[in-house]
Amino acid sequence: MDQAPALTASQSDVLPQEENGLPLKVKLRRAERMKKIRAMALIAPLFIFTLLIFAIPIGIMLVRSIDNPEVVSYLPNTKVELDKWSGEGMPPQTLTAIFATDLVQAYHDKTAATVGKRLNYDVSGMRSLIMRTARKFKSHVPVDATLDTFVKADKRWKQEKYWNALKRASGSLTPFYLLSAVDKKIDDKGDIVNVSEGQAIYVNIFWRTIWIAGVVTVISLLLGFPIAYLLANTSSKVSNTLMFCVLLPFWTSLLVRTSAWVVLLQKNGIVNSSLMNLGLIDEPLTLLFARPGVYIGFIHLLLPFVILPLYSVMKSISPGYMRAAESLGAHPAVAFVRVYLPQTLPGIGAGGVLAFILAIGYYITPALIGGPQDQMLSYFIANHANSTLNWGLASALGMILLGSTLILFTIYNRLTGASGVKMG
């Protein structure tokens, strides 16, 4: 019983009470919280900025890949009737009547072409069908138009497939573009089927992108490994000079390096004329606008990204291990494969995955050095965004590229996070 007051006294020594009566623990927690709030206030500007200027735009792209606004906004009454129609057989008269008035209205609003273009992605020829019908209807707006009215305007309306396409395009969201990006479509029965052989290109392009990226990654690793080894194992003076050969290209503009390769690889360019002067070839090789040029340009771009992480790993490998292995009687080649190589695996993994991520996303180099058969996903995204203006398909292809990149980046993060490989 006597001990209780004494304990309180000693406690009050350890935890002094301030005038406001708050124990130190509470004050400490409060100070910690203030510190956190201050830290977050420092991060907030860039966080909000990145959210606005980066995350939201990408979000818009994701929405664009499933967005389907044309029929919904430009043929609004037709959309209501299309929802009521089962989509089997020919359309009812309620639908045709409203579709005719909507179509004339859209023609006057100059939005019929947009609707036609959207429907044309699904069934080719539908743009001209929509425009022709709208033009015919605009002089005498048909009252209570029936299917016959449409067939009279254009015979094609007799076919179910055009009405089905209209029905398919009537939702405010559509899987159409995402399916197109993997060469699939929804047929008239509502099943997901492959598109016809002639139209199926994107799966092929996806694998081409992966193939090109894979080839250049492997060659970059094979060529980068000895370079990194040389850099990591010479005197620091020599290595600094040699490092310059790696860092100068690394810092030189992509456009400069690409233009250099365009000049070098031309039919009468420096590479061909040198090889001919040396007597190695009789006539110039086709390097530019062909696959070899793309490989060469890519490897030149990616080598520094492979060399730097490999160098960072090799720097930390003690030469003692190899000496120990050899002194124990291992053949140098065996010692290399069983002792040295495994220690460089984190660098090989990090450099390889980084190179691969960069390669599947590059646009400039294949666009300028490659021919039509060497274009990768990025090119088709840019092409649909800027030339054909098929933004839905551009976004859907973008989704595929983004998804692949994020999966690879997760792998990259695992590899570097665990081993602490650094760039440069």
Partner 1 sequence: MQLQPYATTGQKIWHYTFLTIAGGGLLFLVLPILVIIPLSFNSTSFLSYPLSGFSFRWYEEVFTSDVWVNAIQNSLMIGAASAFFATVLGTLAAMGLTRTDFRGKGAVNALLVSPMIVPIVISALGLYFFFAELGLNATYTGLILAHTALGAPFVVITVTATLQGFDNNMIRAAASLGANPVTVFFTVVLPLILPGVVSGALFAFATSFDEVVVVLFSAGPEQRTLPRQMFDGIKENITPAIMAAATLLIVFAFALLTVLEYLRRRSEKLNGAS
Residues in 91-130 that interact with partner 1 by CB under 8 A: none
The closest of 339, 309, 301, 337 to 231, measured between CA atoms, is 309
Q: Of the candidates 291, 413, 295, 265, which has an alpha carbon nearest to the alpha carbon of residue 359?
A: 295
* Nearest approach, Cβ of residue 202 and partner 1 (Å): 15
User: Strand pairing of 192-194 and 184-186?
Assistant: antiparallel
* Contact pick of 59, 76, 125, 342 for partner 1 (by CB under 8 A): 59
Residue 143 structure tokens: 């009252």
| Closest to 347 measured CA to CA, from 394, 314, 380 | 314
Which listed residue (10, 253, 318, 387) binds partner 1 by CB under 8 A? 253
**Shortest Å distance, C-beta 355 to partner 1:** 14
- Cβ-proximal residues to 324 (8 Å cutoff; 6+ apart), any chain: none
Binding partner 1 (rule: CB under 8 A), the pick from 22, 24, 58, 193 is 58
Measured CA to CA in angstroms, residue 338 lies from 14, 325, 345 at distances of 59, 9, 12
Nearer to partner 1, 27 or 155 (CB): 27
Residue among 100, 153, 394, 421 that touches partner 1 (CB under 8 A): 394
Residues numbered 353 to 392 that lie near partner 1 (CB under 8 A) are 357, 360-364, 368, 378, 381-382, 385-386, 391
Please answer whether residues 162 and 156 qualify as being in contact, where contact means their C-beta atoms are separated by less than 8 angstroms. yes
Count of residues interacting with partner 1 (CB under 8 A): 84
d(CA 374, CA 364): 12
Q: Give me the residue label for tokens 């760039």.
A: 423
What backbone phi and psi angles, to 5 degrees, belong to 96? -60, -40
Residue 318 CB, shortest distance to partner 1, in Å, is: 16
Q: How far is the CB of 249 from partner 1 (least distance, A)?
A: 5
Out of 98, 103, 213, 401, the only residue in the binding site for partner 1 (CB under 8 A) is: 401
The reply to whether 53 sits near partner 1 by the rule CB under 8 A is: yes
Nearer to partner 1, 8 or 233 (CB): 233
Site for partner 1 contains 321 (CB under 8 A)? no
- In the complex, what is the shortest distance from the CB of residue 65 to partner 1, in angstroms, rounded to a whole number? 10
Q: Which of residues 63-92 bind partner 1 (CB under 8 A)?
A: 64
Binders of partner 1 among residues 179 to 238 (CB under 8 A) are 223-224, 226-227, 229-230, 233-234
Ranges within 24-43 binding partner 1 (CB under 8 A): 32, 35-36, 38-43
Q: In whole angstroms, how far apart are CA 238 and each of 84, 232, 243, 305, 309?
A: 78, 10, 8, 21, 19
Q: How far, in Å, CA of 180 to CA of 391, rounded?
A: 12
Residue with tokens 């959207």: 118
- For position 244 contacting partner 1 by CB under 8 A, the verdict is yes
Q: Which residue lies nearer to partner 1 by CB, 85 or 391?
A: 391
Least Å distance, CB 268 to partner 1, is: 6
What is the nearest approach in angstroms of partner 1 to the Cβ of residue 193? Answer: 28
- Cross-strand partners of 186: 192
If one asks whether residue 247 binds partner 1 (CB under 8 A), the answer comes out as: yes
Residue nearer to partner 1 on the CB measure, 135 or 257: 257
Cα 160 to the center of its chain, rounded Å = 37
Virtual torsion, Cα 56, 62, 64, 65, nearest 10 deg: 170
Q: Is 144 helix (H, G, I), strand (E, B) or coil?
A: coil
Distance between start and end Cα atoms, the chain = 68
Nearest-approach distance from CB 240 to partner 1, in angstroms: 9
Q: Is 328 in the site for partner 1 (CB under 8 A)?
A: no
In the complex, minimum distance from the CB of residue 57 to partner 1, in angstroms, rounded to a whole number: 3
Residue 8 CB-density burial (10 A; 0-12 exposed, 13-18 middle, 19+ buried): exposed
Of 254-273, which residues contact partner 1 (CB under 8 A)? Answer: 254-264, 266, 268-270, 273
State the minimum distance, in angstroms, from the CB of residue 117 to partner 1: 17
Length of the chain: 424
Residue type, 71: V
**Single residue of 15, 28, 55, 281 touching partner 1 by CB under 8 A:** 55
